[in-house]
Structure 1
Amino acid sequence: MTPFVPTLRPATLVLAIGLASCAGDLTLPDGSAVGLDLTVVDGNGQVGTVGQALPDSIVVEVTSEDGNPVARRRVAFLASGGGAEGFDPDTALTNSEGRAYTRWVLGTAPGPYVAQARIVATGDTVVKAVSLQADALPGGPDTVRAVGPTSQAGVRGEALPEPLTVMVVDRFGNPVGGVEVEWKVPDDDHGELSEDRTVTGADGISSVTWTLGGGAGLQRAEARVGDTNGSPVDFTAVVFF
Structure 2
Amino acid sequence: MKHTYSGTFLLLAAAALALLQCQSPSDDDKVSSEKLVTLTGNVINAETGAPLENVVVELRQVDPAQTALSGALGNFSFEFEVTENREVQVIAFKEGFRGDTTSALAVPGRVVQAPLLRLAPTTTAANNSGNAKSIYLYSQSSVGIGIIGAGDPEFAQLVFQAVDSLGRPVDLQHAAQVHFRILSGPGGGEYISPDSALTNGNGRVEAFLFSGFKAGVVQVQARIVKAGIESNPISIAIHGGYPDLAHFSVGPEKLNIPGLLFINLEDKITALVGDKFSNPARPGTAVYFKTGGGVIGAVAQTNENGLASVILRSGLPHPVHPVLGPGFAAVKAQTLDENQDTISVSTLVLFSGYPVISVNPSSGFQIPAGESKIFYYTVKDQNGNPLAQGNSISVEVEGEGTKASGDVGVNLPDTQSPSWTSFLFTVEDISDSVYVRPVTVKVKNTGPNGDAFVTITGSIGH
RMSD over aligned Cα atoms: 5.0
Mapped partners of 1:72, 1:140: distance in 2: 40
Q: Which amino acid aligns with 1:223?
A: A
Q: 1:42 aligns with which of 127, 132, 138?
A: 138
For 2:332, the equivalent position in structure 1 comes to 222
Report how many aligned residue pairs link the two structures: 192
| Greater radius of gyration (CA) | 2
Residue matched to 1:183: 289
Partner of 1:102 in structure 2?
A: 207
**CA pair 86-201 structure 1, distance change in 2 beyond 3 A:** closer
SS at match of 2:172: coil
Letter paired with 1:43? S
Matched, 1:195 2:296: yes
Alpha-carbon contact 1:71-1:97 (below 8 Å) kept: no
Change (3 A) 1:50 1:93: same
**Any gaps of 5 or more consecutive residues in structure 1?**
1-34, 186-190
Letter in 1 for 2:243: D
What secondary structure does 2:143 align onto? strand
Q: RCO greater where, 1 or 2, for CA within 8 Å and sep 6 or more?
A: 1
Higher strand share: 2
Tell me the equivalent position of 2:344: 232
1:10 aligned partner: none
| Equivalent residues of 2:287, 2:308 under 8 A apart | no
Letter in 1 for 2:144: G
Distance 1:176 1:165 in 2: 16
Q: Are the counterparts in 2 of residues 118 and 128 from structure 1 also a CA contact under 8 Å?
A: yes
TM-score norm. by structure 2 comes to 0.31
Cα distance in 1 between the residues matched to 2:251 and 2:237:
29
Q: Which amino acid aligns with 2:215?
A: T
The aligned amino acid for 1:169 is G
1:133 to 200, 223, 234: 234
1:167 is displaced (CA, Å) by 1.3
Query: Out of 175, 181, 189, which is 1:78 matched to?
Result: 181
How much has 1:234 moved relative to structure 2?
4.0
Using a 3 Å threshold, how does the CA distance of structure 1 residues 90 and 143 change in structure 2: closer, same or farther? same
Deviation at 1:103, TM superposition (A): 0.9
Where do 4+ consecutive residues of structure 1 move more than 6 Å? 62-66
**Aligned twin of 1:12:** none
Tell whether 2:197 aligns with 1:92: yes
Give, in whole Å, the separation in 2 of the partners of 1:217 and 1:183: 21
Distance 1:99 1:216 in 2: 67
Once the two structures are TM-superposed, the CA of residue 75 in structure 1 deviates from its matched residue by 1.8
Give the distance between the partners of 1:36 and 1:133, measured in 2 at CA. 23
Equivalence for 1:168:
273
Separation of aligned partners in 1, 2:268 and 2:201: 64
TM-score when normalising by structure 1: 0.52
